[in-house]
Amino acid sequence: MATGDVALGNPEPSTGTNSDLSGRKPVINDFSIQVATVNGSGSQSANSILLRSIFGMGIPVSGKNLFPSNIAGLPTWYTIRASKNGYVARKKDIDIVVAMNAETAKDDILSLPTGGVAVYEASFALEQYRSDVTCYPVPFDKLTAAVCPEARLRKLVKNMIYVGVVAKIIGLDMKAVEKALRKQFAKKQKAADLNWAAVEAGYNYASETFTKQDPFVLEPMHATDGKIIIDGNAACALGALFAGVTVVTWYPITPSSSVVESLIDLLKKYRIEPDGKASFAVVQAEDELAAVGMVLGAGWAGARSMTATSGPGISLMAEFAGLGYWAELPGVIFDIQRVGPSTGLPTRTAQADLLSIAYLSHGDTKHVMLLPGSVKECYEFSAAAFDLTERLQTPVFVVSDLDLGMNNWMSEPFEYPTKPLDRGKVLTAEDLTRLGGFARYKDVDGDAIPYRTLPGTDHPQAAYFTRGSGHNEKALYTEKPDDYQNMMERLDRKFETARTLVPAPVVVANGTSKIGILAFGTSDFAITESRDQLKNEYQFDTDYLRIRAFPFSKEVQDFVASHERVYVVEQNRDAQLLSLLKLDLPAGETLKLRSIRHYNGLPIDARSVTDELVLQEGI
């Protein structure tokens, strides 16, 4: 690496000498960088360029935005983790801090472990607080002024200086940086040139001033070849696009808004017909009650319809969700979970809507949930949700979270669907003539899924009455006990059919371990890493099952049955997944379940899982 051979310029080098790495072993492709800025300062482009340049060097990388619920002025952090092993969960310790926010700079440097690195605005004089971390002070304002004559652009350009400084320190390939930067400013040549000048200014300053004294370096790999980078919400939008969505209704809420915003861009680009007309309709509704009402109205009339929301919106949708279940209406509802209760921490992540969605609404109601655990699954499950909702004639919830939805993740490219759209059991006028009529809510095929007709079917017997009150197989109003019970029991059997149609869990088992781990969604990243930690540090083997849907597939029960103890890992306080499992599993099996929970608003990390499991196991 060419990083250790430059002249020293660190005024009060905390490591004390001018020598390379002070005898420490280099840490290659395995560390995290945290950039602390002010919300609204435009650091997003700079951070994304850092992330993409590491990716461009073939090194597995993940990025997490920790931002406040505020537009401008409050502190915000972006964390980039490079991991040669491909671990993409949040890493508990930060190795390198880039402190750009005067307000948090002191805390930022204090949060570093011994041996960490701080890059900061020189005037913050952070070297006074730590003698056990490497300090690289940079006169950002001076460097910015030199490359950016226009004062009003300096705030943005300043961020590119740290890209250059960090690039020099950790050995980022400048070709990869330039490529990422040019991509970022693809259609803005002038902006690209200006920003590139800033990156170079930072790089040159670091080259001339610092001798590398920390151990963190990057070396090219080939682990990202052919991979893409995308956030979960954009992946959901792509899934909906390729599922042939036609009606989209929404009410803005963090962190779900970008599902619909990305989708609108895609629809405008790919779903305008040659005559200029749209094969879709998007409506920004007046609230979530209206958004879900429109979804169900459109689903009833035969459209592939969806909305996206987060916890508070889910609460408002309760009454309609019950109607959707009982009147058997299709519609896809994306819930990008954030921290509750109430407004909670709107820009932090959690998995705490599980129970409320599972039984959303009054009476005996239950819903199908798909639980993606990666951006690829965001894509695949959103497409699958449209097939399932029409097949099952019931609302289907795709339950993602802020961590997955709003952060960038690497992934294998998405695959084009191999199966045609499943529009479910819809009878045409010809079918009705052949059958001589139909009973809307009758179980004809033994799978408890009835047949329906769409408004406009040109047959005198096509119409039926959809209502939230008591009805019989012919959709006629009734309050008869037998009719009600019959309907409720069929709906329960339909839920059993759903069990066989939803995505099956992913099981990673060696067949010898007595200990199992159960989890869903974004906990997957931490668990994958934690299992390695348990094995490497404690020689402790675990099996792992990742749940991908509710109702739970049969494999879940089998997995619990075949282990002595099963740790249910989730990101909420009340062990919501564990509660759902208790309701579903045979009583004897539930005694085996133990709980590991994480609920501070930050994405779950491997170390926390490992430590807790070790404690509970008494290893």
Partner 1 sequence: MATTSTPAPKVNRLGLPILDYRGGKTTLCAGCGHNAISERIIDAFYEMGVQPERIMKLSGIGCSSKSPAYFLSRSHSFNSVHGRMPAVATGALLANKTMQAIGVSGDGDTASIGMGQFVHLMRRNLPLIYIIEDNGVYGLTKGQFSATADLGSKLKTGVINDLPAIDTCSLAIQLGATFVGRSFSGDKKQLLAMLKAAIAHKGTVMLDVISPCVTFNDHEGSTKSYKYMQEHEEAINEIGFVPHFEDIAVDYEEGTSYDVRMHDGSQLRLRKLREDYNPTDRVTAVKQLMEAHEKGEVLTGIFYLDTEKPSFTDMLNTVDEPLATLPEERTRPSKQVLDEIMARMQ
> Residue numbers of the site for partner 1 (CB under 8 A)?
226-230, 238, 241-247, 249, 270-271, 273, 276-281, 283, 285-287, 289-305, 319-320, 323, 413-414, 416-417, 420-421, 453-460, 462-469, 477
Q: 75-78: long-range contacts at Cβ-Cβ below 8 A with a sequence spacing of 24 or more?
A: 75/36, 75/37, 75/38, 75/39, 75/101, 75/103, 75/104, 76/36, 76/37, 76/38, 76/39, 76/43, 76/101, 77/34, 77/35, 77/36, 77/37, 78/34, 78/35, 78/37, 78/43, 78/44, 78/47
Contact (CB, 8 A) for 393 and 423? no
Taking the complex as a whole, the smallest distance from the CB of residue 304 to partner 1 amounts, in Å, to 7
- Where residue 253 falls (left for φ over 0; alpha for ψ -120 to 50; beta otherwise) is beta
Contact (CB, 8 A) for 22 and 15? yes
- Residue 270 or residue 538: which is nearer to partner 1 going by CB? 270
- Where residue 496 falls (left for φ over 0; alpha for ψ -120 to 50; beta otherwise) is alpha
Of 546, 289, 549, which is closest to residue 396 (Cα–Cα)? 549
Taking the complex as a whole, the smallest distance from the CB of residue 390 to partner 1 amounts, in Å, to 11
Taking the complex as a whole, the smallest distance from the CB of residue 294 to partner 1 amounts, in Å, to 4
How many Å apart are CA 513 and CA 468, to the nearest integer? 49
User: How would you classify the pairing of strands 395-401 and 331-337?
Assistant: parallel
Taking the complex as a whole, the smallest distance from the CB of residue 574 to partner 1 amounts, in Å, to 29
- Written as one letter, the residue type at 45 is S
Taking the complex as a whole, the smallest distance from the CB of residue 335 to partner 1 amounts, in Å, to 19
17 three-state secondary structure? coil
- Residue 6 or residue 283: which is nearer to partner 1 going by CB? 283
Of 317, 196, 296, which is closest to residue 247 (Cα–Cα)? 296
Residue with tokens 């990388």: 61
- Residue 44 or residue 497: which is nearer to partner 1 going by CB? 44
- Residue 141 or residue 422: which is nearer to partner 1 going by CB? 422
CB atoms < 10 A from the CB of 189, how many?
10
Taking the complex as a whole, the smallest distance from the CB of residue 261 to partner 1 amounts, in Å, to 16
Taking the complex as a whole, the smallest distance from the CB of residue 226 to partner 1 amounts, in Å, to 7
Taking the complex as a whole, the smallest distance from the CB of residue 279 to partner 1 amounts, in Å, to 5
- Written as one letter, the residue type at 246 is T
- Residue 281 or residue 504: which is nearer to partner 1 going by CB? 281
- Residue 23 or residue 420: which is nearer to partner 1 going by CB? 420
Taking the complex as a whole, the smallest distance from the CB of residue 134 to partner 1 amounts, in Å, to 34
β-partners of residue 592 are none
- Residue 416 or residue 564: which is nearer to partner 1 going by CB? 416
First to last CA, the chain: 40
- Residue 181 or residue 339: which is nearer to partner 1 going by CB? 181
Q: What does the DSSP assignment read for 342-402? A: TT-BTTS-----HHHHHT-SSSS---EEE---SHHHHHHHHHHHHHHHHHHTSEEEEEEEH
CB atoms < 10 A from the CB of 451, how many?
20
- Residue 316 or residue 502: which is nearer to partner 1 going by CB? 316
- Residue 301 or residue 619: which is nearer to partner 1 going by CB? 301
Residue with tokens 């080939």: 222
- Residue 239 or residue 505: which is nearer to partner 1 going by CB? 239
- Residue 459 or residue 607: which is nearer to partner 1 going by CB? 459
Taking the complex as a whole, the smallest distance from the CB of residue 284 to partner 1 amounts, in Å, to 10
How many Å apart are CA 227 and CA 406, to the nearest integer? 19
- Helix spans in 508-598 (H): 523-538, 554-561, 576-584, 587-590
Q: What does the DSSP assignment read for 57-93? A: TT--EEEEEE--SSSSSSEEEEEEEEETT---SBPSS
334's enclosing H/E stretch is: strand 331-337
**CA 143 to centroid of chain Cα atoms:** 37
- Residue 122 or residue 421: which is nearer to partner 1 going by CB? 421
Taking the complex as a whole, the smallest distance from the CB of residue 64 to partner 1 amounts, in Å, to 19
Taking the complex as a whole, the smallest distance from the CB of residue 401 to partner 1 amounts, in Å, to 21
Taking the complex as a whole, the smallest distance from the CB of residue 243 to partner 1 amounts, in Å, to 7
